[in-house]
Structure formats: structure tokens, C-alpha cells
Structure 1
């Protein structure tokens, strides 16, 4: 590929000072594991060595085909915690109310990680002669949950970088400890608008049920530590902040990256979107699933007209109920649109049967296909028959859609998904399904059908599609290399701020 050839000299130059040894340690959720792995692959392609730390069950689920010898997987056994189901090592294994227990178990990895880092530091030297995995770690790239890790790293004189897989706008919404102390948010109403330190369009706001989730993240949970306390304790001791984002996808009028550098008082570096390098490489969320699912989705799409199909996927962990799945199904039926629906049994709907309305699949036969379980999402989005994407607005799914310039039908649920949906409405690349109750949580089939028709049938959809393709050109660039340049800049920043360069 032309883009690959153009990137090769830059990638080689990024490792010219010396190949870094980077320990990468994500939180135990696939929405985190996959982008951390994508970053690891990009760093390894530039000649650096990656020790990727996770638990045994998650290591077994990582996509196969990771052939780069510069990436090694190291497993740490997850401690047992009362109430945590046997074998549960990922948020995908749990209903939402049990995730707090997973955090408690995760905190038990502090001592094993200390042993791992001590061994790595004893085995390798800091001198230039040391190479590969024999070199002591130059950096640890960690996630939001690791508030206990930075003191361990400091003991061994290894700098840390926190890697946020969220948008820069959502990090600005969270703010630093100092901003939150100066402008405290107490009630749910306080969490609905963007905070005072981040002036923004009124449209960038949370609905009440979304704000209630954000407010809960500021309170201690069963692990004894709130999510935002984890973020602040980690961020405060990290040398740089890295984001899976770039200025091109953030609200253009807000200059959010300079604002974040001011809020946190340290370098804030975009890593780019870490888009899949090839639509056939299995680079999506869990795209290394069983081969039997691959032909059924793609062969069905082969028989559909170009840009006629709405791809529907709500991720693996959206807190949907059987009732909401019913309304979504009946809305798709009412819309009259062609659709391919990747339907997974969400943990929050476990035991609720049936998941689909009676007779639904028979009534939509021919124009709609439901596949229970895994679907090769990146390859589906790349298919010529797909014309739009109905998504829960997880940032990973939205960034995957950027690669192909699809307009969006958006049905957000929790975390920053509502904010992402409103950002995409501001960019003119999608419409959000309307909500009916005071909290903004409930939706009905008529709302789903109306949103789908706006994108797939009505004249508005043509404008949305044009805007989505323009955004793709801005984000990806003609040769696909624009996003890779952000990784090069990240490597340069890591080279400049490592202890090796300072000592």
C-alpha cells in the first residue's frame, strides 16, 4: 500500500535514538484491551519492544495473528474476590453491578506487578547496549484504573503515561482534581452541562440518566475507590497524558487539546484513532471470532444493493434490557429499511427471554438479518452494501465508522456515549434516536424508525452521508497516513520525556 511505504521511513526514524521497551497494561475490558493492543502494534512496527500485561483469560481472548516478535504477552493471575463469579476476568463476563468487584480484584494485582517490574528492572540496564526485552522498561503505559501502579513505577524509576481511550472532550468534562475542587458538582443536575472550565455549545450536554451515571462515578464503589479518584491519583503521577483521539474529530471551535494541557499542567498527546490498518485484518472489537460467522454476514451483504443496508451493533456490554431490544427490533421493522443486526446477549439482559419479539425474524426475512453473537465488524463496515451504522456510540465503534465514512444512527446508553452522540450531531454526520421520559432513558419503536428513515430514506440522509465522507477525508487523509503521524509524534514525546534522556 502506498500509505504503508510512505510511513516506513518515519517509523524507522522514530526508533533511531534507541528502541524503547514499553510496558502496556490496560483495564480488563475489551473496549480498553483492543485499543491498547492497537497502540502496542503501532509501537512495535516502529521497532520498539512491548510487554503487554493482562490476565490469563483475557490473554486467551486477544486476537490471534499477532506475529510481531516485538510484542510479548505477560499474564498475571487475577486474585479471588468474594462475590466475583469464577473465571470472570473481564467486564464482558459480568452484569454492570458486579464490575465494582472486578476492580477490587484488579487492585490485588499490585504486588504481582511490583514483582514483574522489579525483575524487568534487575534484568536490564539503562545503558544503550541493552536491547529488546533485556532492556529495563523505559515507560509504562497504563489505564484509568491503576491508581496503585505509579508508586510502584516510581520506586523502580520508570515513568508512566496514562492512555485515555476516550475523547478529549470527555476528559475535559471530567477535569482535574483542582478544577473539581474549585467548582464542585454535587447533584445530578450539576453533571448535565459541560463544566464551567470548558465553555461549549449548549448541545454538548448529558441527559439526566447519563448524568446520573457520571455522578455515580465520582462516588466510592465496592472497590473502595471511585472511578474518578482512580483517574486523578493516576494522572497526577504520570509524566504525560495520551488520548485515543485527534483534533480533527473533536469539536473544532473548542481547542480542547491546549485546554487539557492547561487543566492538567503536563503534555497531552493525541495518539490518533488507532484505526484498523486493513478491513480484512480482524482489527475490530473481538474480530477474531469463529470463522463460521464470517461468511453468513458477508455473503448476505453480497446480495444487497450498494449503500442500502443499515448495520446495527450495540457493542458487547451496552446495558440494554429485553424490553429495549424489543423496541429496537420493532423500530427496525417499522422503518422498512434493510439491516444487518449483530445481536449479542447483554449481561444486563441475561435470563430475560425471548430477546426478540415473536415472529420478528420471519416478518423481516429478505430485508433484515439478525446474527446472534460475533460479527466481523470492520469487514462489515467496509462492505459496499453498508450505507449507515446504528451504534451505541462507544468511541471504538464510532472511530471504526470514520474509516469508511458512514453516517450514524445513534442510540447511546452510558458513560461518555451521550456526549459522543451530541458531538457527532454537531459535526452533521448522524442523528440521535429521540428519548421520551424526563430522564431521557426510554425510547420507543416509533423513535427508532424515525431516526433510521432520516438517515436511510429521507433527503437529510444524503447530506449526512456527504458530511461523513468529508470527515473521513479530514481524519484519515488521502494516503491513510495522517493518523500514523500522531503515533510518530507520540514516540518522539516519549523519547524526549523518558528517564533515559533526563539522567
Structure 2
């Protein structure tokens, strides 16, 4: 970690950051790294070789303070060769990636031991939700840990710490359709029955990695000195006080950590992999296109894709669709309904390659975002004041969708409450409400613009980084005074 140490400067912190192997996590971790480096701190950014090669470049004036540390990913049976991020995998293989990542415990321990032996003990390790094995290693070297969490803060309160779940067990789906007993105020961040079944299975159930996501998260909650959240008080008032009480340690908002459009990978990458989607957008009228992207892990079926396609066709609007092949299909199967692309060619583009999402959302032709409501995608929509058509599937996304609907910035696609299914008519109706229907369209657009003005304020966001920096410094100073007394 010599390069990082050299860039620290007098009084600067030395921080190791270690995100989960998903670009929706790595990019915001990199954004935090840049903001810390801009304040004179040194950062060692840890990931696997292929992931580091795919990150956007760091601005030249920060490069002396950010060092990239590659830890080769161990082979795991069933994990395709070269797969180092969730975007390289179908959703059913992601748990194997967690198993492979767990195999980095030894290399990380060696990295820390070498740094300590050379007199460069890091001040902090900032880790992700699934790195339950990092704090015990850090403890051996007297390095404190903080968790940077990229989930809706309200969903973290809904999951709750281990002690609260032990006091008020939730063992069946019905338990997740009502607010937990440890949330002391009225809450709509609960699940419908079909969402609760998936929540229980996906988050609390065992998986191929050998450990449930919730067990990992609970260990991280308990072993870290503080938790850091990609959110802000303007978005989630009162939530950080509640989380601090529940977790019995500071829950610190870091702001929305929005990367610039120039950070959305490089020009050659999007031109070669997405067929020039930005050039297609250049040819569309202003504020005329709905951008459709449901993330890399939404459990879409072929039937879901067909209903979504037919719904877009029925809606009659221009669209750009970033479409990922579902895990249960093979490369010979046609993804789209027969004749769909021919019928919609004059007003729609379907891209099965990589799409530069931030650039698309920033484009003047984009009028709305049909999204799964992942927190990262939702935050990116705030930056450009875009109203939302919402089709949530996993984890915290149903809560986020309801919270955004309450703010009046979009509508959810109608779902069957028993099984979560949707059809083309529900898709078309939701898209038309946001894109076409006069007064309603204006209300959604106005509310989205107001939210942008509230949240996307660089001075306010820098204040959040300053407050986080103060928390990190305060602990460092307390530790130093204790060690020298």
C-alpha cells in the first residue's frame, strides 16, 4: 500500500475500500474514494484484476492518492471462467460469486499483514454488506471497519439487526407484510405477500455461498464501528437516527455519491458494446423516450419480457430498452415476441449489450425511466429529474417503489398481489400515465424536478462527505490517544 501511503499527506487518513463484485457497488465505492482523495486522504481500492481493468479512470489530480489493489479471484466449481462481477453472470450464478469472493480472505489478510509490518497500518477498512469475514481479519491487525451500504436506509431498518429479529422472530411470509415491531412510527415500507415470499427465500434462506445474505449483513452490522449509507436526510428523514439506535452505533449518510456521466465507462466501450445507443438518442425528439432497464439481477422470465415488450408497443411511445437475457433461456431462443422489432423499429431500440446508463439518463431525449427501482438506479434518476415507471422485483426494490410513488414521481406497473405477475395492459397504462396523459404527466415531471432540486445540491452533498470525514477522523484520534496513553 506504499503508493496510497505516499499520497496521504500530513494528517490524512489511509483507507482501504473493498466493494462487492458488482458495478452498482464498485462505481459508488470509487466515487467515495475520489471524494476522500480530494480531501487529502489515501485510498487503496481492492477488487479483482478484471473488475479493476473495467473501472473508469481516476482524474489525474487524484491518481497519486488512489491505488488499485488486485486480488485474483479463486476458481469455484460452477462459476464460469473470467466471471468476476455480477454483470458477467446470470442471476442464478451470483451466489457462487460470493463463494469465490469469500476465498479472498487469505490474500486480504496477507495484504494487511504486509502493510502493518511495513509501518503503514490503515486507519480504516470500508467494506460491503457481504464481507462478514473481513472484520475478524481487520481486528487481528487493529484496523477498524466501517460498512458502506448501498440499500435504501429504510430497508435496512426493516431487516433490522440480529437482536431485534431474535426478540421478534419472523419465520413466515406473513411476518413481512406488516411493519416490524422495532419501527416506532407508521411505515409503508412493507411487502405484499408475493414479495414477502421472495424476501424470505432470497435474503434469509441459505444459498450456494453457504451463508444467507442476512447472516452476512448481521455480522457486518455487529463487527463494524459505524455504518455508512448512500442516502441523505432529505430523502429519508429520521431514518438515520432510528438506524443508529437499532444498530447501536453511528449510521452516517454519505450523500448520494452520484458519479458524473463521464465516469460511465469510456467512449470506445459504449460504442463497441452497445451499438451507439447515444447516437440513436441524438436522432430522437427532446423528452420523447422512455429508457427501460431492469438491472442485472432481476429474475425476469421469457413471459415477463414478452409482456413488457407488448406493453411498450401498446403504449405507443418511443423507447430505448437495455435488455438482459434471462437465466432460464438459451442463446438460440428468441427473446422478443415475433415481429416486435419490425413493428416498433421506427420508434424503439432494444440493446442486449452494455448500455451507458448515466449518459442515457442525462440525454435530452430521455423523458422517463422504466426501472426495477434498485437504489443505485433510482438515485441516478434523481440527478436528471426523471419521473419513474416502476417494476420492482427483489430485496428492497418494492419498498423503494412505494416510497417513490408516495413522493409522486412515478407509478408502479399493476401486479397480481398473489403471484406478482403483470401483463402488457398494466405496462402500457403505467407508461402512458407517466409519458402521455396530460395533467398526470406534468405532475410527475414537476415532482421529479423538485426532488432533483432538493437532493442534487453539490454543496449539501459535500457537507455529507465532511460529516463522514469527521466521524472517521474522530475514531482515529480516539484510537491514537488510547494507544499512546
* TM-score, normalised relative to structure 1: 0.89
1:448 and 2:431 correspond: no
The residue aligned with 1:11 is none
Secondary structure, counterpart of 1:146 in structure 2? coil
Shift of 1:114: 0.6
- Sort the Cα spacing of 1:445 and 1:162 in 2 relative to 1 into closer, same or farther, 3 A: same
Q: How far, CA to CA, are the matches of 2:52 and 2:337 in structure 1?
A: 36
- Sort the Cα spacing of 1:99 and 1:340 in 2 relative to 1 into closer, same or farther, 3 A: closer
Root mean square deviation of aligned Cα: 2.1
1:167 and 2:147 correspond: no
1:263 and 2:246 correspond: yes
1:235 and 2:221 correspond: yes
In the alignment, is the contact (CA less than 8 A) between 1:282 and 1:288 conserved in 2? no
Q: How far, CA to CA, are the matches of 1:70 and 1:145 in structure 2?
A: 26
In the alignment, is the contact (CA less than 8 A) between 1:317 and 1:346 conserved in 2? no
Q: Deviations over 1:291-325 (max 9, x none)?
A: 34678322322232222211111122322122211
The residue aligned with 1:107 is 102
Q: How far, CA to CA, are the matches of 1:493 and 1:152 in structure 2?
A: 22
In the alignment, is the contact (CA less than 8 A) between 2:91 and 2:298 conserved in 1? no
Q: Deviations over 1:74-102 (max 9, x none)?
A: 11122222332322222223333332222
Q: How far, CA to CA, are the matches of 2:324 and 2:268 in structure 1?
A: 16
Q: How far, CA to CA, are the matches of 2:155 and 2:395 in structure 1?
A: 9
In the alignment, is the contact (CA less than 8 A) between 1:63 and 1:287 conserved in 2? no
The residue aligned with 2:469 is 491
How do residues 321-336 of structure 1 correspond to structure 2 at under 5 angstroms?
A: 321-336=301-316
In the alignment, is the contact (CA less than 8 A) between 2:193 and 2:417 conserved in 1? no
Q: How far, CA to CA, are the matches of 1:227 and 1:293 in structure 2?
A: 32
Which of 220, 229, 242 is the equivalent residue of 2:206? 220
- Sort the Cα spacing of 1:98 and 1:365 in 2 relative to 1 into closer, same or farther, 3 A: closer
Q: Deviations over 1:399-455 (max 9, x none)?
A: 111001110001111111111111101111110001125122x11100000000000
Secondary structure, counterpart of 2:252 in structure 1? strand
The residue aligned with 1:46 is 39
How do residues 329-368 of structure 1 correspond to structure 2 at under 5 angstroms?
A: 329-351=309-331, 353-368=333-348
In the alignment, is the contact (CA less than 8 A) between 2:270 and 2:356 conserved in 1? no
Which of 476, 493, 498 is the equivalent residue of 2:456? 476
Which sections of structure 2, spanning at least 5 residues, go unmatched? 1-7
1:83 and 2:61 correspond: no
Q: How far, CA to CA, are the matches of 1:486 and 1:58 in structure 2?
A: 28
The residue aligned with 1:24 is 17
How do residues 382-401 of structure 1 correspond to structure 2 at under 5 angstroms?
A: 382-401=362-381
Q: How far, CA to CA, are the matches of 1:231 and 1:294 in structure 2?
A: 35
Secondary structure, counterpart of 2:154 in structure 1? helix
Q: How far, CA to CA, are the matches of 1:103 and 1:311 in structure 2?
A: 30
Shift of 1:202: 5.6
The residue aligned with 2:169 is 184
In the alignment, is the contact (CA less than 8 A) between 2:302 and 2:326 conserved in 1? no
How do residues 419-438 of structure 1 correspond to structure 2 at under 5 angstroms?
A: 419-436=399-416, 438=418
Q: Deviations over 1:45-79 (max 9, x none)?
A: 21111111111222222224554221111111222
Shift of 1:501: 5.4
The residue aligned with 1:412 is 392
- Sort the Cα spacing of 1:502 and 1:492 in 2 relative to 1 into closer, same or farther, 3 A: farther
1:35 and 2:15 correspond: no
Q: How far, CA to CA, are the matches of 1:472 and 1:173 in structure 2?
A: 26
In the alignment, is the contact (CA less than 8 A) between 1:287 and 1:376 conserved in 2? no
Shift of 1:476: 1.1
Secondary structure, counterpart of 1:289 in structure 2? helix
Give the paired residue count: 470
Secondary structure, counterpart of 2:131 in structure 1? coil
Shift of 1:227: 1.2
Q: How far, CA to CA, are the matches of 2:328 and 2:258 in structure 1?
A: 29
Asked which structure has the greater RCO (Cα within 8 Å, sep 6+), the reply is 1
Shift of 1:201: 4.7
Q: How far, CA to CA, are the matches of 1:287 and 1:228 in structure 2?
A: 38
Shift of 1:384: 1.7
- Sort the Cα spacing of 1:304 and 1:421 in 2 relative to 1 into closer, same or farther, 3 A: same
- Sort the Cα spacing of 1:345 and 1:287 in 2 relative to 1 into closer, same or farther, 3 A: farther
Q: Deviations over 1:241-270 (max 9, x none)?
A: 1001111112x4xx1110001001111100
- Sort the Cα spacing of 1:288 and 1:204 in 2 relative to 1 into closer, same or farther, 3 A: farther
How do residues 368-383 of structure 1 correspond to structure 2 at under 5 angstroms?
A: 368-383=348-363
In the alignment, is the contact (CA less than 8 A) between 1:429 and 1:468 conserved in 2? yes
1:282 and 2:231 correspond: no
The residue aligned with 1:97 is 92
In the alignment, is the contact (CA less than 8 A) between 1:30 and 1:92 conserved in 2? yes
